[in-house]
Chains A and B, each alone.
Chain A
Amino acid sequence: GAGVSQTPSNKVTEKGKYVELRCDPISGHTALYWYRQSLGQGPEFLIYFQGTGAADDSGLPNDRFFAVRPEGSVSTLKIQRTERGDSAVYLCASSLTSNNEQFFGPGTRLTVL
């Protein structure tokens, strides 16, 4: 079956703009995670959804970052007033439940000029 998909694969934007990154998890997976991977670093946890609700958003760096999962499937990560430091690969993962292996998507490479 289809894996986790993320769109767009690449996004270039200007400082101060608003961006939305989309994640389509594996069908039936109830848990969904967002990570950010900066150059030379490992993935860093941002937020975790169980169903429609954000169970843990402790990794979001500040209030410019927000994520939703309104129907418990697709999720959107929203970044307002982008800064150059937001440039990174944003990874999405899903798992059957929160106690199962996470499957990662290919990521969205965000570049803020």
Chain B
Amino acid sequence: DQQVKQNSPSLSVQEGRISILNCDYTNSMFDYFLWYKKYPAEGPTFLISISSIKDKNEDGRFTVFLNKSAKHLSLHIVPSQPGDSAVYFCAANTGGYQKVTFGTGTKLQVIP
């Protein structure tokens, strides 16, 4: 039972353009959502998060949008840079307790 789904296993974007990574979830009890970035041979690194009481959170080039009615969130990266090339995991948890449920990841390639 995959409660957090990332249906695009990979994405290629030209440098300078916008990257949009999508995520869907099924568990309506999730109230906190996170994005992690992972380089090969390293552990995931926290990128940005959003509480279910908000619909948008922005941090520099990264913006996360949350649509609770659709149980959908997205990560926008603009402008995309080659150093952004990595695997991005969408994740969620409940009630501040940090048993985090991860999606399967989307591999982003930013082409110079």
> Contacts A104-B43, A104-B45, A105-B43; is A43 near B102 (CB within 8 Å)?
yes
> Contacts A40-B104, A41-B104, A42-B104; is A93 near B99 (CB within 8 Å)?
no
The size class of the interface chain A forms with chain B is 20 to 34
The residue of chain A having its C-beta at the shortest distance from the C-beta of B89 within the complex is A42
A31 contacts across to B, CB distance below 8 A: 98
Contact with B along A30-74 (1 / 0, CB 8 A): 010101000011111100100000001001000000000000000
B6 contacts across to A, CB distance below 8 A: 42
Q: Helix, strand, loop or mixed for chain B's interface?
A: strand
Q: Does B63 contact A (CB under 8 A)?
A: no
- Which residues of A58-108 are within 8 A (CB) of B? 59, 91, 93, 95, 98-107
> Contacts A40-B104, A42-B89, A42-B105; is A95 near B98 (CB within 8 Å)?
yes
Identify which of B44, B45, B46, B49 gathers the most chain A CB atoms within 10 Å of its CB.
Answer: B44
Cα distance, A100 to B46, chains bound together (Å): 11
The residue of chain A having its C-beta at the shortest distance from the C-beta of B104 within the complex is A42
Interface residues of A (CB under 8 A from B): 4, 31, 33, 35, 40-45, 48, 56, 59, 91, 93, 95, 98-107
